Amino acid sequence: MSVVLENGRRQFDYWATVYKRTWKGSLVSSFLLPLLYLAAMGIGLGSFVDDNGTGALGGISYLQFIAPGLLAATALQIAVGESTYPVMGGIKWQKFYFSMIATPLRPADVMYGQLAFVAFRVLTTCTVFLVVIALFDGLATPWGLFGLPVALLVGMAASAPVCAVATRLENDSGFAMIFRFGVVPAFLFSGAFFPVSQLPNWIEWLAYLSPLWHGVELSRDLSLGTVDPLAALGNLAYLAAWFVVGTWFAVRGLTRRLIS
């Protein structure tokens, strides 16, 4: 245990230094974008949805409908972003992963460090976003604040498998595909903007497969105070499974790539 902690401390130092230098570059994409979406969709378009009658949404405003969904979706986007180019950079371009394992760190520690940094990015971004949502009256009940741990779990469930893929890719053109056919459709069709029951049947089932849908459901049910314990446990277990299995593959992939 103490070895793990010690290795973790060494990693923390590295990531803190990196982020101190690069945080400004992430301001627009991680803080401003979700806020703009909240304003354009939740408030602007929301006024038309609300005028049209809120029956389909169960009597809440459109802003309160999309806010928990947008929170989970933001976590997904940040997490995937931090698990693609940075991981490949560590292996291929700046090769800092190789320097790391020249110390007492093992490839597994390097991967845990990477994941911990992703968790840090997701948590900080989502905390700020959640505060703004609360100020705009986007939370139907204070329980919506529990959207934060859910967002963290969504982020990790997305980050670990993407890291696993990134450790196996030879060049970055695969990332364009992950964003175009993974992140964007997940963002648009996971129930953040409209109930997935409106989708054609077979796409509805694809939406259920996406970790984001489970996160959106959990986060929204918490905010609206409509949690069904059994369904919530199912959602949690599904997200945890993505994280655990993804981490296992990521550690394996990185070990093979760094030690061969």
Residues lying near other proteins in the complex (CB under 8 A): 24-25, 27-29, 32-33, 36-37, 39-41, 44-45, 47-49, 52, 56-57, 62, 173, 176-177, 180-181, 184-185, 188-189, 193-194, 198-199
CB of 194 to other proteins, least distance (A): 4
Cα 247 to Cα 255: distance, rounded to the nearest angstrom: 12
Shortest Cβ 210–other proteins spacing (Å): 13
Identify which of residues 44 and 142 has a Cβ nearer to other proteins in the complex: 44
Sign of CA dihedral 150, 151, 154, 159: negative
Nearer to other proteins, 91 or 183 (CB): 183
Closer of 9 and 21 to other proteins (Cβ): 21
CB of 191 to other proteins, least distance (A): 9
Using an 8 Å Cβ cutoff, are 52 and 129 in contact? no
- In order, the DSSP letters of 99-146 are HHHTTT--HHHHHHHHHHHHHHHHHHHHHHHHHHHHHTT--SSGGGGG
Nearer to other proteins, 85 or 248 (CB): 85
Q: Are 199 and 189 in contact (CB under 8 A)?
A: yes
d(CA 161, CA 141): 33
Closest distance between other proteins and the C-beta of residue 239, in Å?
22
| Least distance in angstroms from the C-beta of 41 to other proteins | 7
Picking from 170, 169, 160, 152, the residue whose alpha carbon sits closest to that of residue 251 is 160
Residue (77 or 247) nearer to other proteins, CB: 77
